[in-house]
């Protein structure tokens, strides 16, 4: 139980996918403008991250590893994730229209998101078991959500601030993203001690 919590919280806070590992920056900058789209995007990311892990972990351990094909993982994972998202989209459209509407355009958008591929590959690299992998994916998704929500608040302040002309738009956004990222370094070393 303790180990599960450590994996979960370190995925959310210490190894935050956006702010510490710098994965998934594109949706992070793209949809953090307001909370509503941030919510839709985050839910889709969590959803797809967990499902992608559920599919890719068995494929790696049952198919690729026994055949000595670990080097194929990136290609196969991309293939599997892309098809998976497509499949989910077709399924949701028919079976759960409200959820399909809520996730909206974000579902196909994150098909090739590096954060999704990143979490599946990191699960393999960290030699997590199946359960731990799912927890890690969930944590990564929640961390993405946290980063997006925090940054949506920061951006609202930045939009109202009187920014020098050459800093307007993307430059000031990236600078403030870096500052938020630095603040997350404060969590380093926190997790090991919190569950002592």
Partner 1 sequence: MLFTVVLISLPAILIPVGIAAAIALILGIVLVIASKVFALPVDQTLEEVRSALPGVNCGACGYSGCDGYAQALRDGQDTDVSKCSPGGSDTAAELAAILGQAVPSFTPKVAYIHCQGTTDHTSKRFAYHGVETCAAAQNTFSGPNSCTYGCIGFGDCAAVCPYGAIYISKGIAHIDSHLCRACTLCVAACPKNLIEMMPKHYNAYTVTCKNKWPGGQTRKNCTVGCIGCRRCFKVCPSGAITMDGPLAVIDPNLCTHCNKCLEVCPTHAILRGLPLAEGTDGYPKRSRQEDDPVTPAPALVSGQTTQSDA
The span of 13-21, 75-83, 135-143, 150-158 binding partner 1 (CB under 8 A) equals: 75-83
- Out of 79, 178, 182, 190, which residue is the one contacting partner 1 (CB under 8 A)? 79
Q: How far is the CB of 56 from partner 1 (least distance, A)?
A: 11
* 140/16 Cα distance (integer angstroms): 7
CB neighbour class for 121 (10 Å; exposed up to 12, middle 13-18, buried from 19): middle
What is the longest distance spanned by two Cα atoms in the chain?
Answer: 59
183 near partner 1 (CB under 8 A): no
195 near partner 1 (CB under 8 A): no
Q: How far is the CB of 110 from partner 1 (least distance, A)?
A: 18
What's the DSSP call for residue 34?
S
* 131/158 Cα distance (integer angstroms): 40
Q: How far is the CB of 62 from partner 1 (least distance, A)?
A: 12
The answer to whether 143 and 13 are in contact (CB under 8 A) is yes
The answer to whether 46 and 119 are in contact (CB under 8 A) is no
Nearer to partner 1, 34 or 83 (CB): 83
User: Which backbone phi and psi does 127 adopt, to 5 degrees?
Assistant: 50, 45
Nearer to partner 1, 25 or 80 (CB): 80
161 near partner 1 (CB under 8 A): no
Nearer to partner 1, 95 or 170 (CB): 95
The answer to whether 55 and 73 are in contact (CB under 8 A) is no
The span of 2-10, 57-65, 104-112, 123-131 binding partner 1 (CB under 8 A) equals: 57-65
78 near partner 1 (CB under 8 A): no
Tokens of 175: 């600078």
Residues within window 85-114 making contact with partner 1, judged by CB under 8 A: 86-87, 90-91, 93-95
* 113/152 Cα distance (integer angstroms): 20
By CB under 8 A, name the binding residues for partner 1: 59, 63-64, 67, 69, 72, 75-76, 79-80, 83, 86-87, 90-91, 93-95
């Amino acid at each position: 139980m303790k180990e599960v919590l450590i994996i979960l919280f370190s995925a959310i806070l210490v190894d935050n996918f956006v702010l510490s590992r710098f994965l998934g920056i594109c949706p992070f900058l793209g949809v953090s403008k307001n909370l509503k789209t941030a919510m839709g995007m985050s839910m889709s990311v969590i959803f797809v991250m967990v499902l992608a892990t559920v599919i890719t972990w068995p494929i790696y351990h049952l198919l690729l590893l026994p055949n000595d094909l670990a080097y194929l993982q990136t290609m196969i994972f991309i293939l599997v994730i892309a098809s998976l998202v497509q499949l989910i989209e077709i399924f949701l459209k028919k079976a759960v229209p409200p959820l399909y509407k809520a996730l909206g355009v974000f579902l196909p958008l994150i098909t090739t998101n590096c954060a999704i591929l990143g979490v599946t590959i990191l699960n393999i690299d960290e030699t997590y078991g199946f359960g731990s992998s799912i927890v890690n994916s969930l944590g990564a998704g929640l961390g993405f959500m946290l980063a997006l929500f925090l940054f949506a608040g920061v951006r609202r302040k930045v939009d109202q601030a009187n920014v020098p002309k050459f800093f307007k738009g993307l430059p000031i956004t990236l600078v403030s993203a870096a500052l938020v990222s630095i603040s997350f370094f404060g969590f380093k070393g926190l997790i090991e001690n919190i569950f002592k």
